[in-house]
Amino acid sequence: MPGRDAVRPELVEGHGSTGSPRTEGNALRTRVVPAAPSEPRIPRRHRLILVRHAQSAVDPRRAPSTWGLTDNGRAAARRLAALGLFDRADGFYAGDEPKMVETLEPVAAERERRVQAEAAFGETHSEGFLGSEEFLATIQRFLAEPEVAPAPGWETAAAARARFGAAVERLRVVHEPPMNRDRVLPATVAIATGGRMITSYLAGVLGWSTEEALEHWRALRMPDLAVVELDEQPEDAQRLKGVRGPGVRDGKGSLVIPFGTLVV
């Protein structure tokens, strides 16, 4: 007959039917259960194809936000549609201005998609028609002093950057990076907007100085495009766990394709 200190078979694996820990002799033994491996971190990268609108039909009698494209501008927009770069785009967005929507429409239509117009992606607001020299001086003030309106009725660079950046962060929540068995591809969206807006936004994302921003703005063509890859935001780790929240404005990133690289 087994003694009182003998090990009962049903307790060999740790706990018996009574829920008591296994004993051997009179010593209490605790079974160490290894911690579950932590979930691997999956990079959540997003790429923006930022498109500067094609040539617009300037009319000093009307607000710039109402201008459409010229015939040359529409032809250039059709040539944009041939770029395979847009094949990976998950969404097509534009400021709610005719020249911006018309620039991206052929690109989206070629891929059986539609352009979604959003006011947040519009050009920086301005009023009045300025001559060339006065306009250039205003742009210099716009970039050098982002918190100050560069001219009466003009939106500040800081305000424009904030609204554009917030809209980009909303898209990052909507467009999740596509995953397959061995890798995660960047989620890609295309956004058509104006030259001042693109320059102001990228100055914050890429850390451009005033001089660098002005140089990039002056070199912009109609149309033109650049691709920027945004860094992961702190909120991305929460999103992996199902927690949703607003992104951080003006996330940082790197330039993948600079303006002026692709000729259309």
Residue 178's pLDDT is 74
Is the N-terminal amide bond of 223 cis, ω within 30° of 0? yes
Check pLDDT > 50 for residue 14.
no
Could you tell me the residue ranges of all domains in the chain?
A: 1-37, 46-257
Q: How sure is the predictor about 177, in pLDDT bands with cuts at 50, 70 and 90?
A: confident
Nearest alpha-carbon partner for 162 in 128, 192, 205, 224? 205
Cα 255 to Cα 90, 93, 214, distances in angstroms: 19, 20, 17
CATH topology of domain 46-257: Rossmann fold (3.40.50)
Check pLDDT > 70 for residue 219.
yes
Summarize the confidence of residues 190-208 as an average pLDDT: 96
Check pLDDT > 70 for residue 242.
no
Give the least confident one: 57-61, 199-203, 220-224, 236-240: 236-240
The b-or-e profile of 181-217 (16+ CB within 10 A means b, else e) is eeeeebbbbbbbbbbbbbbbbbbbbbebeeeebbebb
- What pTM was computed for the model? 0.77
Summarize the confidence of residues 13-38 as an average pLDDT: 52
Check pLDDT > 90 for residue 53.
yes
Check pLDDT > 70 for residue 40.
no
Give the least confident one: 18-27, 129-138, 146-155: 18-27
